[in-house]
């Protein structure tokens, strides 16, 4: 299995809702990432997990809460989002996240999020 | 931090022609340079990558060249086909901080019949 999967594909939520995005990989990768991508822009890194521990938080607002329950799963919990948070949320994984690493990052298909 | 510039932002070629996209990076410590293709509504997909100990890499119609002295790398697509139409992102990874990718701003490639 060489794929990263994400659910749901689409999500519409109100500003008071709580929802979660899910990401899964079975490649044995020990690094997992959340990216946010706006239309016609490159992906922006949000969080990095390495060996199920949060390694990087790119100053993301607390209304986004990541969780890594095990080495194959990555969640992103959403609460009190704003309309400007509407975007494509991409999950990615790589073999490792270590100094000097040149491991390839593989992206999931993304969740298209609309905040009303 | 690393900064990656990508040109052109849009590129239109005739089917069968070659396409070249260029990127420059700022951090001489960067050691990994992937290229991703993203079709509309789809995931970014790795099409080719190059590491800093190699100057050129080729995979069928796609090639990437790296000039470490000048800090630039380029994507070359030969014999373009309509299915090559997509947005292409270059990226650079600074190995000293995990493998965080800094992306270029993207190139919209359109292959016309």
Cβ distance of B44 and A94 shorter than 8 Å: no
Predicted confidence (pLDDT) at residue A101 exceeds the cutoff of 80: no
Q: Which residue among A42, A50, A98 places its CB closest to the CB of B105?
A: A42
pLDDT at B77: 98
Burial class (CB within 10 angstroms; exposed 0-12, middle 13-18, buried 19+) of A59: exposed
Q: With helix as H, strand as E and coil as C, how does chain A read?
A: CCCEEEECCEEEECCCCEEEEEEEECCCCCEEEEEEECCCCCCEEEEEEECCEEEEECCCCCCEEEEEEECCEEEEEEECCCHHHCEEEEEEEECCCCCCCCCCCEECCCEEEEEC
Cβ distance of B98 and A109 shorter than 8 Å: no
Residues of B in contact with A42 (CB under 8 A): 89, 91, 103-106
pLDDT at A2: 63
Average pLDDT, chain B: 94
Contacts with B53 (C-beta within 8 Å, 6 or more apart), sequence order: none
Choose the mutation target among B33, B98, B107 for the interface with A, i.e. most A CBs under 10 Å: B98
pLDDT band at B79 (very low <50, low <70, confident <90, very high): very high
Residues of B in contact with A109 (CB under 8 A): 42-43
pLDDT at B102: 94
């Amino acid at each position: 299995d060489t794929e990263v999967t994400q659910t749901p594909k689409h999500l519409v939520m109100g500003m008071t809702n709580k929802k979660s995005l899910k990401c899964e990989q079975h490649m044995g990768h020990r690094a997992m990432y959340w990216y946010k991508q706006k239309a016609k822009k490159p992906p922006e890194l949000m969080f990095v997990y390495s060996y199920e521990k949060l390694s990087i938080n790119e100053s993301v607002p607390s209304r986004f809460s990541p969780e890594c329950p095990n080495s194959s799963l990555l969640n992103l919990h959403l609460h009190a989002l704003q309309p400007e948070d509407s975007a494509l949320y991409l999950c990615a994984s790589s073999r490792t996240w270590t100094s000097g690493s040149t491991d390839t990052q593989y992206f999931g298909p993304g969740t298209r999020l609309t905040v009303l | 931090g690393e900064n990656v510039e990508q040109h052109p932002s849009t590129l239109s070629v005739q089917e069968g022609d070659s396409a070249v996209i260029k990127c420059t990076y700022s951090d001489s410590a960067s050691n990994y340079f992937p290229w991703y293709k993203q079709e509309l509504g789809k995931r970014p997909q790795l099409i080719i990558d190059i590491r800093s100990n190699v100057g050129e890499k080729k995979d069928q119609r796609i090639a990437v060249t790296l000039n470490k002295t000048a800090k630039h790398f380029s994507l070359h697509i030969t014999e373009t086909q309509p299915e090559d139409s997509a947005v292409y992102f270059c990226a650079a990874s600074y190995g000293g901080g995990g493998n965080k990718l800094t992306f270029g701003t993207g190139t919209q490639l359109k292959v016309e019949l």
